[in-house]
Structure 1
């Protein structure tokens, strides 16, 4: 197993968030165009989706090379992008790529929910080393985040089924991530009393 390596935080953010931003910029640039390949016409959205896959894989490869590891979430997200990006191109149907977001959020909802039914927090299993917190705090955060992922899954279904592709791309790129980030920041501020101070504990 590769050793974990330190990486500049700014570079890490660029590699993690850059592919999604690149997809957005590509889509904005070519959304009005139609491309013919093998006698089949493809919209700018589908071409941007196809280009997004190698960009994401290149960023993940660079992240693995620089840090020595990839999280399970990153690997799962990459698999979903490749799988649904492939379906989008194969069937020439942008709905597959739009559904990917629902399934990703739905997967997290179900996974966290299974842990809760077992009286466990899978979040704590993944993040406890990075953010030491009492078990009660992890259970509270897991319940809230499980609900948040469920809301985002439903919201994505509503957005892509009732709104334009242009609006979906903007909400997918900026709206959902910012909403999730704001939610997490609020939760960590509310759960401060459950955080464990390593110095005090020692």
Structure 2
């Protein structure tokens, strides 16, 4: 599946949430967000015959916390969702490293060929980044109006994530593995084989 389609499937529900919230309020916006998320997950399955782990986990949380928001008519639940999801991702990545498992490598190993040290660095950085996003979400939703929080969720978190991703390119390049002509692998940039 092309990258732009993946991006559209991830951003589409957020943009729908933004528009629905601005026209009908947070509870209706959340209900529409839930439907758009389910449609995006179904489209991902139809197009690729698989659903990536992060969008799937996030989608389940949207449906659970969105369902609570709609059912109880309380926006607290949808506001807590980014905090809980990002905390979960951060703890899984850092906890995995503490127990000898690199879940980032498991999720992305087919996309990037990186040394073990590179995977460790990336997992630590992403784990800390997810925890920072959780803290930022808590600060924002507790200190601003709901519409401002929705704007931050849609137009703040994604750009922060893109910028953070771009800052990780030097690690990917430094620890990239290239196959040698004789079939062995060599790490580029760190002088080790």
**Shared topology, TM-score over 0.5?**
yes
Pair 1:27 & 2:21 matched? yes
Shift of residue 69, structure 1, vs aligned partner: 0.6
Please list every run of 5 or more consecutive structure 1 residues that lacks an aligned counterpart in the other structure.
Answer: 1-6, 31-43
Coordinate RMSD, CA, aligned: 1.5
Distance 1:201 1:71 in 2: 34
Flag the 1:198–1:157 CA change in 2: closer, same or farther, 3 A. same
Which runs of structure 2 are paired with 1:18-167 in the superposition (5 Å)?
18-30=12-24, 44-167=25-148
Please list every run of 5 or more consecutive structure 2 residues that lacks an aligned counterpart in the other structure.
Answer: 184-193
Flag the 1:96–1:138 CA change in 2: closer, same or farther, 3 A. same
Shift of residue 200, structure 1, vs aligned partner: 5.6
TM-score by length of 1: 0.85
- Worse overlay, 112-121 or 93-102: 112-121
Distance 1:140 1:46 in 2: 40
Distance 2:177 2:60 in 1: 35
- Worse overlay, 97-106 or 16-25: 16-25
Tell me which of 157, 166, 174 is aligned to 2:155: 174
Distance 1:123 1:86 in 2: 29
Which residue pairs with 2:190 in the alignment? Answer: none
Which residue pairs with 1:183 in the alignment? Answer: 164
**Mapped contact 1:19–1:55 kept (Cα < 8 A):** yes
1:23-78 CA deviation, whole Å, 9 max, x = no partner?
Answer: 11221223xxxxxxxxxxxxx11011011111111121111111111012222111
Distance 1:45 1:138 in 2: 39
Flag the 1:199–1:165 CA change in 2: closer, same or farther, 3 A. farther
Tell me which of 2, 10, 15 is aligned to 1:16: 10
Which residue pairs with 1:40 in the alignment? Answer: none
